[in-house]
Chains A and B, each alone.
Chain A
Amino acid sequence: MNDAAHADAPIDEGNRLQAFVYALQECLRSALGSIRSHRMRSFLTMLGVIIGVASVICIVSLLQGLTRSVMNEFQGIGGNTLHVHAETPREDRMLGKWARLKPEDLDLLKYRVAGISNVTPMTGLNLPGGLRNGSNTSGAQIFATTSWYQLANQSFPSAGRFITDSDNNSRRRVIVLGDKARSDLKLPEDCIGEFIQVGGEWFKVVGLMEARGEMFGQSMDNYAVIPFETGRALAGPWREPNMAILLTVDDLDAVTDVKSRITVMLRRAHKIGPDQADDFQIESSQTMTETIQRVAGTITLVISAVVGISLLVGGVGIMNIMLVSVTERTREIGIAKALGAPRSFILMQFLIEAMVLAVIGGIIGIGFGWLLGELAAKMIPHFPPPAVPWWAIVGATGFSALVGVLFGILPARRAANLAPIDALRHE
């Protein structure tokens, strides 16, 4: 017997890690067993976490889907396209002064700035009567531009041709239609050569643009293009067109340089003092996507913070039930202690149980939130499909675990601090 008593040598440094792994394994097993034996109660306990995580995942997935679809739209424009338009500084706006880009600015960019090409003016026209084909009308956006638009905007005709330099120079009355504008005017697919009315004047349809589909339920094909000079003539010589300038930068690495060169040039031309704000804005698809990402990021952050609070409430629910569970299992804890369970083991056992509860809740919440997102996207017409990003899954699981551990500390400490004889005597 003497030999038998010393058969288990004290745990030496070598296998302490292994002993810890075994203990961890045992705690996990006991946690799952305890959760399984109280299914209903465990589920209700997790409910706070489930709802919290589900709402984060749902909203994040919708937002991600939205940003992704917007990004895909912008990707077609190309990273080296710049879009210069007038932007009235706020002080000027209050004075009633409105900034404009003028044809001189166009020439300035075309001839005085190196490293750019496809410099294209673009101006929206508000013509009385709009587009008309017999009794059919279209509310399509009409804008006037030049042949360079195709390259600068990366959009090309699918049938017929685009506006040419010769159209522009001789102010020809020709028009290129977007697909939505064509169908609104009840024109056949093959409509090249037809004549329609633009602001009361007859125009010949020379081309049809490739369809671009919808974004946010808004058709991207509801537009029509006429030559820039024709547009100026239609608007009348007394009206200065409110135009934007599209251009492409030859070297993608030089985008920032080109931007600052254009800024210097335009500021000088517009006689803007050193402490005055620009009266124009230069946007690239990059800045636009950055803006969208920033906005989506901010929304995600705010919502995550709000939902974080609901997760904390869920954590309190877990703590509450764990405290009840410790009281219920006082006898069990007493037995474990009598059999030689150290404080740390009991502590770990209850911490892991709280954590497992929270993590299971989190995982159910992820699934539920994903379903909810899909459902919401289906119910809102033309909403892009949602996407659950991996960081949301990792974050939600991690945060749930953190909540579980945090709110498990109090019950676990209570369990670990029970005196063995009192716990054994507990009825």
Chain B
Amino acid sequence: MIELRGIGKTYQMGTTELVALADINLQIARNEYVALIGPSGSGKSTMMNVLGCLDLPTTGAYTLDGETVAGLSEDQLARVRNRKIGFIFQSYYLMPRTTIADNVAQPLIYRGLAPSVRRERANAALARVGLEERVLHKPNELSGGQRQRVAIARALVGRPNVLLADEPTGNLDSKTAREIMGVFSDLHREGMTIIIVTHDAAIAACCRRVIRLHDGRIVEDREQAGAVAVDA
């Protein structure tokens, strides 16, 4: 479903060129559960931005769900993000002034859905992460783990093809982190494609496939069977 061929990304920093990604070839199929790991500066974030259509690669071809991403305009990219990708960020990135329900429904606004439809789907998504009681709370009234659940609900509400999580447990204690990983595992079991960017080996251990980046290149790509048991 995701296919990267010869992807490269260079940043122009003054006169020097900074190579963030070089010659990445990668295929991720439907319902895979992938960890993208590597030390800081290895190109993880750039990879995440490219995968999430937040940034365009300098070279190479990226196909997502049969759609070639290269050459799309900003608004077309926004459309792809809105319909095919669910983002989960380390610091949740929720809107502080609006309720949980409105936060979750936000991606649906950009699809031109009616308020009643948005509310219904947001409530369903919140129920899925176990927060149906909290719909009218503001984000600052929730714990970190609850906030991340809200973010997951927001990522799910648009029924995306793939969930992209960037250090989803980075701000959480280990117990809450395990709970969040449990949510991901459940989603994986239900058929969702999940890519988690992390530098935490324990998190990576929960995934089925681990891709290690170093200096902008893939240095390791291995499957690990039966590693789903997080509660162990």
* Contacts from A to B (Cβ < 8 Å): 1-2, 4-5, 7-8, 11, 15-16, 18-20, 22-23, 25-26, 33-34, 37, 331-332, 334-345, 420-421, 424
Which residues in B have their C-beta under 8 angstroms from that of A19? 111-113
- Check B55–A1 contact: CB distance below 8 A: no
Residue B74 at the chain A interface, CB threshold 8 Å: yes
- Near A by CB (< 8 A), chain B positions 180-209 give 190-192
- Check A4–B159 contact: CB distance below 8 A: yes
- Check A340–B107 contact: CB distance below 8 A: yes
A sample of 16 inter-chain contacts (CB < 8 A) reads A5-B160, A7-B159, A8-B83, A8-B159, A15-B112, A16-B112, A19-B111, A22-B115, A23-B112, A33-B98, A339-B81, A341-B82, A341-B110, A342-B79, A343-B78, A421-B49
Q: Give complex CA distance A424, B54 in Å.
A: 10
- Check A341–B78 contact: CB distance below 8 A: yes
- Check A22–B112 contact: CB distance below 8 A: yes
List 10 tightest A-B contacts by C-beta distance, closest first: A340-B82, A19-B112, A1-B191, A4-B159, A339-B107, A340-B81, A342-B75, A335-B93, A340-B110, A340-B78
Q: Decide if the interface of chain B is mainly helix, strand, loop or mixed.
A: loop
Residue B161 at the chain A interface, CB threshold 8 Å: yes
Which residues in A have their C-beta under 8 angstroms from that of B160? 5
Which residues in A have their C-beta under 8 angstroms from that of B111? 8, 11, 19, 340
Which residues in A have their C-beta under 8 angstroms from that of B106? 336, 339
CB nearest to A27 among chain B residues: B109
Residue B84 at the chain A interface, CB threshold 8 Å: yes
Which residues in A have their C-beta under 8 angstroms from that of B192? 1
Encoded as 1 (CB less than 8 Å from any A CB) or 0, chain B from 52 to 84 comes to: 101100000000010000000011001111111
Q: Give complex CA distance A184, B82 in Å.
A: 86
* Contacts from B to A (Cβ < 8 Å): 30-31, 49, 52, 54-55, 65, 74-75, 78-84, 87, 89, 93-95, 97-98, 106-107, 109-115, 154, 158-161, 190-192
Which residues in A have their C-beta under 8 angstroms from that of B158? 8, 340
Which residues in B have their C-beta under 8 angstroms from that of A11? 111-112
- Check A5–B159 contact: CB distance below 8 A: yes
Which residues in B have their C-beta under 8 angstroms from that of A2? 30
Which residues in B have their C-beta under 8 angstroms from that of A37? 97
- Check B110–A345 contact: CB distance below 8 A: yes
Min CB distance, A38 to chain B, in Å? 10
**Can you name 11 extra interface pairs (CB under 8 A) apart from A332-B95, A338-B81?**
A1-B159, A5-B161, A8-B111, A8-B158, A336-B106, A339-B106, A340-B79, A342-B75, A342-B78, A343-B74, A421-B49
Q: Give complex CA distance A50, B65 in Å.
A: 53
Min CB distance, A79 to chain B, in Å? 58
Min CB distance, B219 to chain A, in Å? 24
Q: Give complex CA distance A182, B4 in Å.
A: 105
Min CB distance, A284 to chain B, in Å? 62
Q: Give complex CA distance A299, B225 in Å.
A: 86
- Check A339–B154 contact: CB distance below 8 A: yes
- Check B87–A339 contact: CB distance below 8 A: yes
Which residues in A have their C-beta under 8 angstroms from that of B54? 338, 420-421, 424
CB nearest to B79 among chain A residues: A340
Min CB distance, A24 to chain B, in Å? 11
Pick the contact of B114 from A20, A22, A420 — CB < 8 Å? A22
Which residues in B have their C-beta under 8 angstroms from that of A336? 106
CB nearest to B74 among chain A residues: A343
- Check A5–B84 contact: CB distance below 8 A: yes
CB nearest to A37 among chain B residues: B97
Q: Give complex CA distance A337, B77 in Å.
A: 10
Which residues in B have their C-beta under 8 angstroms from that of A340? 78-83, 107, 110-111, 158
CB nearest to B95 among chain A residues: A332
- Check A337–B78 contact: CB distance below 8 A: yes
- Check B110–A8 contact: CB distance below 8 A: no
Task: With a 10 A CB-CB cut-off, give which of B49, B98, B110 has the most chain A CB atoms.
Answer: B110
Min CB distance, A340 to chain B, in Å? 2
Q: Give complex CA distance A358, B21 in Å.
A: 47
Pick the contact of B109 from A23, A34, A334 — CB < 8 Å? A23
- Check B75–A343 contact: CB distance below 8 A: yes
Which residues in A have their C-beta under 8 angstroms from that of B107? 339-340
Min CB distance, A349 to chain B, in Å? 10
CB nearest to B86 among chain A residues: A339
Which residues in B have their C-beta under 8 angstroms from that of A342? 75, 78-79, 110
Which residues in A have their C-beta under 8 angstroms from that of B78? 337, 340-343
Which residues in A have their C-beta under 8 angstroms from that of B191? 1
Min CB distance, B166 to chain A, in Å? 10
CB nearest to A339 among chain B residues: B107
Min CB distance, B13 to chain A, in Å? 14
Q: Give complex CA distance A338, B55 in Å.
A: 10
Which residues in B have their C-beta under 8 angstroms from that of A16? 112
Which residues in A have their C-beta under 8 angstroms from that of B80? 340
- Check B52–A338 contact: CB distance below 8 A: yes
Min CB distance, A97 to chain B, in Å? 80
Q: Give complex CA distance A313, B52 in Å.
A: 43
Which residues in B have their C-beta under 8 angstroms from that of A337? 78
Which residues in A have their C-beta under 8 angstroms from that of B87? 338-339
Q: Give complex CA distance A33, B96 in Å.
A: 12
Min CB distance, B17 to chain A, in Å? 18
Min CB distance, B66 to chain A, in Å? 11
Q: Give complex CA distance A337, B49 in Å.
A: 13
CB nearest to B96 among chain A residues: A332
Task: With a 10 A CB-CB cut-off, give which of A25, A337, A339, A344 has the most chain B CB atoms.
Answer: A339
Pick the contact of A331 from B49, B93, B110 — CB < 8 Å? B93
Min CB distance, B80 to chain A, in Å? 8
Which residues in B have their C-beta under 8 angstroms from that of A8? 83, 111, 113, 158-159
Which residues in A have their C-beta under 8 angstroms from that of B95? 332, 335
Which residues in B have their C-beta under 8 angstroms from that of A345? 109-110
Min CB distance, A301 to chain B, in Å? 44
Q: Give complex CA distance A19, B110 in Å.
A: 9
Which residues in B have their C-beta under 8 angstroms from that of A26? 109
